[in-house]
Amino acid sequence: MPPETTKAPAQDVIHNIGYRNYSGARLGRAYARRSLFSQSLRGAYGLGRSAKSKVLPMILLGVMCVPAAIMVAVAVTTKMNDLPVAYTRYAILLQAVIGLYLASQAPQSVSRDLRFKTVPLYFSRPIERVDYVAAKFAAMASALFLLTALPLLILYVGALLAKLDFADQTKGFAQGLVSVALLSLLFAGLGLVVAALTPRRGFGVAAVIAVLTISYGAVSTVQGIALARDNTDAISWLGLFSPITLIDGVQTAFLSATSAFPGGHGPGTGTGVVYVLVLLALITGSFGLLMRRYRKVGL
């Protein structure tokens, strides 16, 4: 008898691998939450999805970075003393791009799960409702942070290459990062709440754009009227009513930014505290609303 036939079961296994039980690790709830987070974050840039869905987020990321690269190139070649745009101002200038990104990706993140009824599957796994909401929220905020912080990083690296003052630039960069972090949290919260209202993706996209642009349009119009009437106090308070002006107000008050409000009449420290409180209330409020939204969705 040839020696290999003595191991008949092994040969059999090669041809027909029967069902194998899994006896390895089961990493539980925290791991599942992290998995959902990374899947959602990758999904926000189209990774792990079809080629088509990578196009828009990647283009928008490019659009965010190109102006920064140009500014850096100009600053390096013309030997400027300072960057043409402050770190804290960059996101305000490109708010339309950020809004567009949020409008395209927030519905992608939550409406799809609602529309295709994948949510019940998640809740049949070890995670709880709070894990789902936290993972989606964190993923959206991280995706936005990536989108807004990457151009700042380009600016910072460029500024160092142009041999601008190191301490100055580092301080500005840090302030810029804090500002875009707050912006990411706020926008992620608002975008997800609006997107989670409807399982229809198109409605979600339109609704997010509407919330951002209408509120900004209304606030800046009224601010413009207030400026014409020389009511500078009103200008600084009005900024509370739209997401981007809220961020502008916070960074003007505490992150030594120059306000983009009409006439540059940003809030002072006293008003700034109200801005911060409203900002935090909006972020926690949107988390709470999302929790409520998913209360009825399980199974």
Partner 1 sequence: MIATESLSKRFPRVTALDRLSVDIAPGVTGLVGANGAGKSTLIKILLGLSPATEGRASVLGLDVATEGAAIRERVGYMPEHDCLPPDVSATEFVVHMARMSGLPATAARERTADTLRHVGLYEERYRPMGGYSTGMKQRVKLAQALVHDPQLVLLDEPTNGLDPVGRDEMLGLIRRVHTDFGISVLVTSHLLGELERTCDHVVVIDGGKLLRSSSTDDFTQSTGSLAVEVTDSDARPDGTAALYAALAGAGLTVRPAGRAADGTPASGRVLLVDVVDDSTYDTVRDAVTDLELGLVRMEQRRHRIAEVFRDEGEGDTPATAPAAAGWGAGRQWAPAAQRDEQNGGAPDAA
Among 122, 187, 261, 275, binds partner 1 (CB under 8 A): 122
Query: Contact letters (x/-) for partner 1, 239-258, by CB under 8 A?
Result: --------------------
Q: Is 55 in the site for partner 1 (CB under 8 A)?
A: no
Query: What is the 3 state secondary structure string of 213-278?
Result: HHHHHHHHHHHHHHHHCCCHHHHHHHHHHCHHHHHHHHHHHHCCCCCCCHHHCCCCHHHHHHHHHH
End-to-end CA distance of the chain: 59
CB of 205 to partner 1, least distance (A): 16
Q: Is 78 in the site for partner 1 (CB under 8 A)?
A: no
Burial-class residue 168 by CB neighbours within 10 Å (0-12, 13-18, 19+).
exposed
Closer CB to partner 1, 131 or 248, in the complex: 131
Q: Is 229 in the site for partner 1 (CB under 8 A)?
A: no
CB of 38 to partner 1, least distance (A): 9
Q: Is 123 in the site for partner 1 (CB under 8 A)?
A: yes
Query: What is the 3 state secondary structure string of 270-296?
Result: HHHHHHHHHHHHHHHHHHHHHHHHHHH
Q: Is 217 in the site for partner 1 (CB under 8 A)?
A: no
Q: Is 12 in the site for partner 1 (CB under 8 A)?
A: no
CB of 220 to partner 1, least distance (A): 38
Closer CB to partner 1, 25 or 167, in the complex: 25
Among 120, 217, 264, 268, binds partner 1 (CB under 8 A): 120
Q: Is 116 in the site for partner 1 (CB under 8 A)?
A: yes
Piece of the chain touching partner 1 by CB under 8 A; list 47-55, 209-217, 257-265, 285-293: 47-55
Number of Cβ within a 10 Å radius of residue 245:
28
Closer CB to partner 1, 21 or 77, in the complex: 21
Burial-class residue 14 by CB neighbours within 10 Å (0-12, 13-18, 19+).
exposed
Whether 216 and 203 have beta carbons less than 8 Å apart is answered as no
Distance of alpha carbon 186 from the chain centroid: 8
Structure tokens at 38: 């990374």
Among 22, 78, 163, 296, binds partner 1 (CB under 8 A): 22
Q: Is 128 in the site for partner 1 (CB under 8 A)?
A: yes
Q: Is 49 in the site for partner 1 (CB under 8 A)?
A: yes
Piece of the chain touching partner 1 by CB under 8 A; list 46-54, 148-156, 159-167, 286-294: 46-54
Whether 78 and 174 have beta carbons less than 8 Å apart is answered as no
Q: What is the per-residue burial (b if ≥16 Cβ within 10 Å, else e) of 110-122? A: bbbbbeeeebeeb
Amino acid identity of 130? V
Among 18, 79, 81, 296, binds partner 1 (CB under 8 A): 18
Q: Which residues bind partner 1 (CB under 8 A)?
A: 17-22, 24-29, 31-32, 35-36, 39, 48-50, 53, 112-113, 116-118, 120-128, 298-299
